[in-house]
Amino acid sequence: MKRILAVITAWYLTFTSLWHVPSDAYVVATADKLCENPAYAKVIWTKALSKAYAKIQMDSFYPEWNTSEYKALIKLWGKESAWNHEARNKKSTAFGIPQLLNLDPATPAPLQIERGLAYIKHRYDKPSIAWAHWRTYGWY
């Protein structure tokens, strides 16, 4: 039984690594490491990690948001920052993945995502409404 489980796990890890899909455990461990030492940001934080971390946060803290809300978030922040945690808005003080106003440029990517999700919940209730607002006005 242990051998079968080991083989299944090995296959799973092999296939997910082919598609560059980070595991939830890897994403959380990387986020923890980054929050402890922001110097890791340029070395290890990627767009795939950002998206995976956003999905984990949504599943954990906003369980009422379904897969379509995640897709709306992908589109919204894709347009806002292309999921770049160092994105700067030349026309305002917006910064980071969610392009929040007056966000400190030293804010680690996981905290940017958490604050962005909290902003969406507070202001729009869910990402699909924020995305609809963005499509109408070009900002959210």
pLDDT in tens, 88-113: 999 999 999 999 999 999 999 999 99
The rounded mean pLDDT for the chain is 86
Full-model pTM:
0.75
How many independent structural domains does the chain possess? 1
Q: What's the domain range around 17? A: 2-137
Lowest mean pLDDT among 4-8, 40-44, 102-106: 40-44
Q: Provide mean pLDDT across the span 116-139.
A: 98
- Which of 19-25's residues contact partners 24+ apart within 8 Å by CB, and which partners? 20/48, 21/48, 21/52, 22/48, 22/49, 22/52, 24/52, 24/56
